Amino acid sequence: MPLVKKDLEDRFLGVLFGQAVGDALGLATEFMSRTDVLWYYPHGVKSYKQIIQDEHRKRWQPGNWTDDTDQMTMILDSLLETDKVDIQDIARRFYNWLFYAQGQGIGNTVYTVLQHPNFLNEPTTAAQEIWEQAGCQSAANGGVMRTSVLGLWDFTSLKKVEENAAIVCKITHFDPRCVGSCVIVSILINQLVQGSVPDDTIWYKAQDLAERYDSRILPFLNSALNNSQIEALELDVPESGGYTLKALAAGIWALKHANSYADGLQAIIHAGGDADTNGAVAGALLGAKFGVTQIPAPWLAGLTHGNYLLRASCELLAKVLNINSKLALEQVIARAQPHINCPPSKTIAPTERTAIISDIHGHYAGLKIVLDDIVQTGCNRIICLGDLVEGGDDNEQVIALMQTQKIDCVQGNHDKFNDIHLAQELQNYLDQLPEQIVEDYALYTHISPRQTKYTINHEIEAWNVFNETSYRLIFVGHTHASLIFGEASTEFGEAKRHTFEYNKPLILDKQDRYIICGGAIGYGRDGIEKIRYAIFDPMNYSVEIRAINGPLLSFDR
């Protein structure tokens, strides 16, 4: 019976959302033993909100995926932008993610390879050299955790799927066990999405690939196929928790023995070990088998970056199926949306004159000056775009003033990671700040609304943001400069940088979209020796960048 298009869409999207959910939920038990899992989650892991907030896990908001899916989406973004498997482009994205977007959760193998001086020029050679320096024994799971999307590209050619999985794996992981793991998972995903069922035929194909790439793969594959009890895989043994063949076995076990997406994923997560990676691999395979519509709705809705993944995965599907009509793409998205149903993080009234401040960095005197100016300009509310601390000496006073003024605030990178010592209640305040605030047509965030967060300080990155989001207005901090970008541009691949006068409203075009960087209170990075912030007036649909006199922190530049 031929596969109908609805099933194809369901399974296709199931792969990417299955991985993301498996990763985000698997974080709950990452690095735990089975005993630890039972202690912390006696009734099982059923939601992101249950995830304990210890030093490791609190680095991610509940519903955030980790480095596993970060790297998968970098491959996804590269496919969408270059329309091919471009090793140099994917390597550059990995490199920029580490050095410009913090690379949160990055594994040792990827970190070491990306540090190689020749990585950007010859990534595969760099990976081989690092592998050889480790005695050709390093076979971590950082390749297989991100490979799912390669089962969807070059969709009709198993030969190309195999080639793509292999060469992308070897960007960082050269060991044949890693390469074989990536090939097996990608081939299985491809076949499942096209309608195959997990039977002897598909297992024989996997076993044949295992023998072809490395004889050490087959025992792990057979163990997963032949043991109905997941305990036999010993996923929580610390010495081998990050082994590529353990992650492969976890995915194969779930695919062979689970009766539903939820049952399979929870079994993997409750086994402990490197649970986010095991969950990512198993989740992608289970998603390919059961489809996105069988993933529990709260798990889909709770994904922090679900809206990004919805559009990106639908764009990939459109490319694979040669859907060139924008209307047809929107119809694909509309069909998937009811199942994904990712809500905004917070809703606020869009009708008030709003002051947008950012990057205070412990500069209490500057904050006081700005708050006084805000009163004079007749704003009804204030939103802070983060980085309250680290730089000046008055971090506690800044936080206390934000609290007493009841100012809505998002979390900046210095709020999340810093070397200062705060009273516990003040640190708790920083820890609970949301990553973004959303209203009907505007988004407020610190660095970027993109899943991979590059600084928005030039026209090309602003264009990338417009391309990946649908908000009419995006307010960001982090740049320490005053910038306004518009989507309407005469240059392909570049947004338009708008000129403006300080302390004078700029009327916005309601048919255009904008990214607004108001500037910083602590210090600037563009030579303007003024304290700056922005005012958005929705009634006049205007933005004013305020530049006022006052002391700046000593490292203004």
Q: Using CA atoms, how far apart are residues 60 and 89, in angstroms rounded to an integer?
A: 27
**Non-local CB neighbours of 204 within 8 Å, separated by 6+ positions:** none
Q: Which residue has the tokens 């996105």?
A: 292
Residue 341: both structure tokens together: 């149903």
Q: Using CA atoms, how far apart are residues 420 and 241, in angstroms rounded to an integer?
A: 33
330 pLDDT more than 90: no
Q: What's the first-to-final CA gap in the chain, in angstroms?
A: 67
Nearest to 220 by CA among 189, 251, 199: 251
Q: What is the pLDDT of residue 23?
A: 98
Amino acid identity for residue 442 in this structure: A
349 pLDDT more than 80: no
Structure confidence at residue 404 as a pLDDT band (50, 70, 90)? confident
Q: What is the pLDDT of residue 57?
A: 93
Structure confidence at residue 372 as a pLDDT band (50, 70, 90)? very high
Rg (CA), the chain: 24
The pLDDT tens digits for 50-75 are: 999 998 998 888 999 999 999 999 99
Q: What is the pLDDT of residue 343?
A: 45
Q: What is the pLDDT of residue 5?
A: 61
Counted residue by residue, the chain has a size of 557
DSSP one-letter string for 339-361: HH----S----SSS-EEEE---T
H-helix or E-strand spanning residue 437: strand 436-438
Q: What is the pTM of this model?
A: 0.70
Q: What is the pLDDT of residue 49?
A: 92
Structure confidence at residue 355 as a pLDDT band (50, 70, 90)? very high
The pLDDT tens digits for 272-301 are: 999 999 999 999 999 999 999 999 999 998
Cα distances from 260 to residues 201, 228, 256, in angstroms, run: 21, 15, 11
The answer to whether 181 and 173 are in contact (CB under 8 A) is no
The pLDDT tens digits for 210-228 are: 999 999 999 999 999 999 9
200-213 and 176-193 helices, crossing angle to 10°: 160
Cα distances from 41 to residues 29, 47, 362, in angstroms, run: 9, 11, 38
Cα distances from 480 to residues 67, 313, 413, 464, 530, in angstroms, run: 27, 33, 13, 20, 11
**What percent of the chain clears pLDDT 70, i.e. is strictly above it?**
95
Q: Using CA atoms, how far apart are residues 92 and 106, in angstroms rounded to an integer?
A: 15
Of 309-313, 330-334, 339-343, 538-542, the least confident: 339-343
- Please count the other Cβ atoms lying within 10 Å of the Cβ belonging to residue 305: 22
Q: What is the pLDDT of residue 238?
A: 84
Higher pLDDT, 81 or 204: 204
Q: What is the pLDDT of residue 351?
A: 63
Nearest to 93 by CA among 534, 336, 454: 454
Average pLDDT over residues 140-152: 98
- Most confident region among 93-107, 164-178, 394-408 by mean pLDDT: 164-178
Q: Using CA atoms, how far apart are residues 261 and 13, in angstroms rounded to an integer?
A: 14
342 pLDDT more than 70: no
557 pLDDT more than 60: no
Structure confidence at residue 47 as a pLDDT band (50, 70, 90)? very high
Q: Using CA atoms, how far apart are residues 53 and 62, in angstroms rounded to an integer?
A: 9
Ordered domains of the chain (ranges, CATH): 5-316 (1.10.4080.10), 354-548 (3.60.21.10)
Structure confidence at residue 344 as a pLDDT band (50, 70, 90)? very low
Q: What is the pLDDT of residue 341?
A: 66
Structure confidence at residue 109 as a pLDDT band (50, 70, 90)? very high
Q: What is the pLDDT of residue 332?
A: 76
Mean residue pLDDT of the chain comes to 91
Q: Which residue has the tokens 């299985």?
A: 188
Structure confidence at residue 101 as a pLDDT band (50, 70, 90)? low
Pairing verdict, β 473-476 and 514-517: parallel
- For residue 36, report the phi and psi dihedrals to the nearest 5 degrees: -60, -40
34 pLDDT more than 90: yes
3-state SS of 86-112?
Answer: CHHHHHHHHHHHHHHCCCCCCCHHHHH
DSSP one-letter string for 247-280: HHHHHHHHHHH-SSHHHHHHHHHHT-BSHHHHHH
Residue 406: both structure tokens together: 């009841």
